[in-house]
Amino acid sequence: MSRIAVFGTGYLGATHAACMAELGHEVLGVDVDPAKLAKLEAGEVPFYEPGLDDVLKRNVENGRLRFTASYEEAAAFADIHFIGVGTPQKKGEFAADLRYVDAVVETLAPLLDRPAVIFGKSTVPVGTAKRLGERARALAPAGNDVEVAWNPEFLREGYAVADTLHPDRMVLGIDPESPGRAEEVARVVYAQLLEEGIPFIVTDLATSELVKTAANAFLATKISFINAMAEVCEAADADVTVLADAIGHDARIGRRFLNAGIGFGGGCLPKDIRAFMARAGEIGADEALTFLREVDNINMRRRTRMVDAVREATGGSLLGTRVAVLGAAFKPNSDDVRDSPALNIAGQIQLQGASVVVFDPQAIMNSRALFPTLEYAYSALDACERADIVLVLTEWQEFRELDPQALAPVVKNKVILDGRNCLDPQRWRRAGWTYRGLGRR
């Protein structure tokens, strides 16, 4: 079993650290946020991720998983290091902000006096791994015995544990000019996964970085494609959900990621496609990715479209209306509200004079921190109290199962707008509600 340090203990890093311990390794999680570390040390997950609590608690208790703020401790403890810090969008431009990834290498490398492998997991612009490798070798007392390899992460929030322990595939980028021990080390770390027969693709650094951004660009494009079809369906009085089912039967197309609605958000897709465009420009390939600008435009237009639809449904003005918003997280089974379409729409509606009450099963705390001026409720029913209109903006199972009969006496007007096309229109209409989905009659 290996000794591993994981730098950054957010959604990616905490999950990776806990799952590596679950595989039997000894793991030290490193972060700069003392509040986060305190929770993790106590065996508590500082965010909502189904199933992660158990894995974390079990491995903290059995002593395989510890946390620290000390890079010195990490460098002394492990010779295998994973970078899982954030790579957010830079303020005011499309490019990724690499300061956190750089900081890990700048702080860690000078402490490496034995051979070591640093695996990057954060999503980075192509070319970053090569640059970091050169920097690490220049800074480390162990010099050329320090390697940087890239091992992009594909986990989905809401399924992070299963995706880490049973991924669809693993990708490893190594420096073809000096292929050191990275592949051999990765094969030991991921031995159990490899035994399961999970595809393991070993390639050069640049390809490994691009696999991640290409995958996200593809998914974003698929979502924006169906949302563009939703716009056409609205204009043609057609139904995008039927269209999606019908084209989805074609195995070359597939039904997944064809749910029209208010579009994608979160801490990954929006910033990743923008960073991809920015990087393509820097390396002289910008024409290849101009379509992503349209993908981004279509996506952002969905939010405006939803606000317009709410205004239309409330008689042309939002002033003085009471709007119940069900869902704040960017997707169900997560408390992540980074660039969440739901919260963004709630904020825009409030700006137009409505009083907005938001409920989300897990994301209230994060939402309050980001949008303190919105009103928050502690149940769907509370949020809907005297509402002129109810909006479903995140497709939590709890909202899919809402009983239109039970909700009817609570609201002022039985009007529901389904921003995720996740409800059964017939069921709501039969109960006397005015139901409207996006991209359908």
Does 30 participate in binding ligand NAD (rule CB under 6 A)? yes
Q: Is 33 in the site for ligand NAD (CB under 6 A)?
A: yes
10 vs 425, which CB is nearer to ligand NAD? 10
| Closest separation in Å from C-beta 333 to ligand NAD | 12
Q: With CB under 6 A, what is the number of residues at the site for ligand NAD? A: 26
85, 217, 374, 377: residue in contact with ligand NAD (rule CB under 6 A) = 85
Of the two residues 278 and 380, which places its CB atom closer to ligand NAD in the complex? 278
| Interaction mask 128-157, ligand NAD, x per CB under 6 A | -------------------------x-x-x
Q: Is 104 in the site for ligand NAD (CB under 6 A)?
A: yes
Interface with ligand NAD in residues 335-364 (CB under 6 A): none
Q: Does 12 bind ligand NAD (CB under 6 A)?
A: yes
Annotate each residue in 228-267 with x if it binds ligand NAD (CB under 6 A) or - if it does not, as one string.
---------------------------------------x
- Alpha helix segments (H runs only) across 33-114: 34-41, 52-61, 71-77, 99-108
- Say if CB 82 and CB 7 are below 8 A apart: yes
Does the footprint of ligand NAD cover residue 365 (CB under 6 A)?
Answer: no
Pick one of 6, 9, 230, 416: the residue that binds ligand NAD (CB under 6 A).
Answer: 9
Number of helices (H), then strands (E), belonging to the chain: the values are 19, 14
Cβ within 8 Å of residue 190, ≥6 positions away = 23, 170, 198, 200
Compute, in degrees rounded to 10, the torsion defined by CA atoms 182, 186, 187, 193.
Answer: -160
**Nearest in space to 181 (alpha carbons), one of 202, 155, 208, 154:** 202
Tokens of 28: 């030290």
Kindly report the CA angle at 334 between 66 and 25, in degrees rounded to 5? 25
Minimum gap (Å) between residue 163 Cβ and ligand NAD: 9
With contacts defined by CB under 6 A, name the span among 78-86, 229-237, 370-378, 396-404 that binds ligand NAD.
Answer: 78-86
Between residues 30 and 289, which has the closer beta carbon with respect to ligand NAD?
A: 30
Residue 268 is a catalytic residue: yes
Report the C-alpha gap between 76 and 272 in whole angstroms. 34
Contacts of 36 (CB under 8 A, 6+ apart): 9, 10, 46
**CB distance 280 to 96 below 8 Å:** no
**∠ CA 315-319-325, rounded to 5°:** 85
Alpha-carbon distance of 49 to 159, in angstroms, equals 8
| Residue whose C-beta lies closest to ligand NAD | 10
CB of 155 to ligand NAD, least distance (A): 5
Q: By CB under 6 A, tell whether 173 contacts ligand NAD.
A: no
List the catalytic residue out of 19, 268, 384, 422. Answer: 268
Told to check if 399 binds ligand NAD by CB under 6 A, we report no
What minimum distance in Å lies between the beta carbon of 237 and ligand NAD? 38
Q: CA 311, CA 259: separation in Å to the nearest integer?
A: 23
Which stretch, 28-36, 228-236, 301-309, 323-331, contacts ligand NAD (CB under 6 A)?
Answer: 28-36
Q: Which is nearer to ligand NAD, 146 or 383 (CB)?
A: 146
Of 93, 76, 62, 71, residue with least CA distance to 7: 71
Q: Which is nearer to ligand NAD, 87 or 394 (by Cβ)?
A: 87
User: Judged by CB under 6 A, which of 20, 49, 87, 416 binds ligand NAD?
Assistant: 87
Q: From its phi and psi, is residue 439 left (phi > 0), alpha (psi between -120 and 50) or beta?
A: left
For the chain, how big is the Rg over CA atoms in Å? Answer: 23
Does residue 100 belong to the site contacting ligand NAD (CB under 6 A)?
yes
Among 95, 149, 244, 268, binds ligand NAD (CB under 6 A): 268
CA dist 398 and 64 (Å) reads 36
C-alpha distance from residue 292 to each of 60, 270, 286 (Å): 42, 10, 10
Cα(220)–Cα(222) distance, integer angstroms = 5
Please give the Cα distance from 384 to 107 (Å, whole number).
50
Q: Which of 5, 10, 227, 371 binds ligand NAD (CB under 6 A)?
A: 10
Among 42, 76, 103, 188, binds ligand NAD (CB under 6 A): 103
Distance separating alpha carbons of residues 357 and 365, to the nearest angstrom: 14
User: In whole angstroms, how close is the CB of 267 to ligand NAD at the nearest point?
Assistant: 5
Binding site for ligand NAD (CB under 6 A): 7-13, 30-33, 36, 84-87, 100, 103-104, 122-123, 153, 155, 157, 267-268
Annotated catalytic residues are 268
